[in-house]
Amino acid sequence: MELTPVLRSEWLKIRTLRSLLGALLALFAATTAFSAIAGVSETSGPGFDPLFTSLSGVVPGQIAAVSFGAMAVSSEFQSGALRLSLAAVPRRGRWFAAKAAVIAVPALLVGLVTALAALLVARAALGPAADGLRTGEQVRGVVGCGVYLMLMALFAAGLAALLRSGVATLSLLIPFILVVSFVIGDATGTVADFLPDKAGQLVLRETYDGTLGPWSGLAVTALWAAAALLAGAWSLRRRDA
């Protein structure tokens, strides 16, 4: 079976599930709103990073991206939907690749639009404090932010396929992103540079210290996402639908 019809079928599922469209809308709304708040409340001082301040809404907003990836996969494990999908596409690897693709594309596109909107509203709120930002840094921040959100959605999608549960995936990832990552970062120093969220968020910073840079940090997040997708594909092949 060719990949194009599979992609079309999986894209139809994404479009018709309101919860998935709601997650993408929440990604845009939450990220933009929190970036605007950060811009209004931020004052220049030691360690002030105007690029990260402008895009800081991604930190809470990424929960919506993670939810989008997890729910897109976990919906297949409800009411026997996966058995129907695999009856139509017996080659499980091809089906899972199509599923990952239709998660990646909208997450990337919405992530890019969201990053641009967040940057614009936060810059307006920051005023002269953001005047030092160069065009190249802003482009890198917006593009990197879109890619980062896509990778986090794929990371969640892979874990959801492995755990076969959206609830279990979100119960693991949300506390990790909001709490555990910060605690580990404070306690372990440079080890935290290689956590999926900490590494990827380096691309959002104007200045950065440590082992990784913006693109190498994003590459680390990509490796986490690839590992999760491979684990999910392995689980899908080895376990009954």
31 or 177, greater pLDDT: 31
* Rounded Cα gap, residues 126 and 17, in angstroms: 37
* Rounded Cα gap, residues 5 and 58, in angstroms: 34
For 142-157, what is the mean pLDDT? 98
For 65-80, what is the mean pLDDT? 89
Supply the pLDDT for residue 210: 77
For 110-137, what is the mean pLDDT? 91
Answer yes or no: is pLDDT of 54 > 80: yes
H-helix or E-strand spanning residue 211 = none
- The values of phi and psi at residue 24, to 5°, are -70, -40
* Rounded Cα gap, residues 230 and 15, in angstroms: 25
For 144-169, what is the mean pLDDT? 95
* Rounded Cα gap, residues 68 and 56, in angstroms: 20
Give the CA-trace dihedral at 74, 80, 84, 87, to 10 degrees.
100
Supply the pLDDT for residue 17: 86
70 or 45, greater pLDDT: 70
For 177-190, what is the mean pLDDT? 66
Q: What's this model's pTM, rounded to 2 decimal places?
A: 0.92
* Rounded Cα gap, residues 113 and 115, in angstroms: 6
pLDDT > 90: what percent of the chain? 56
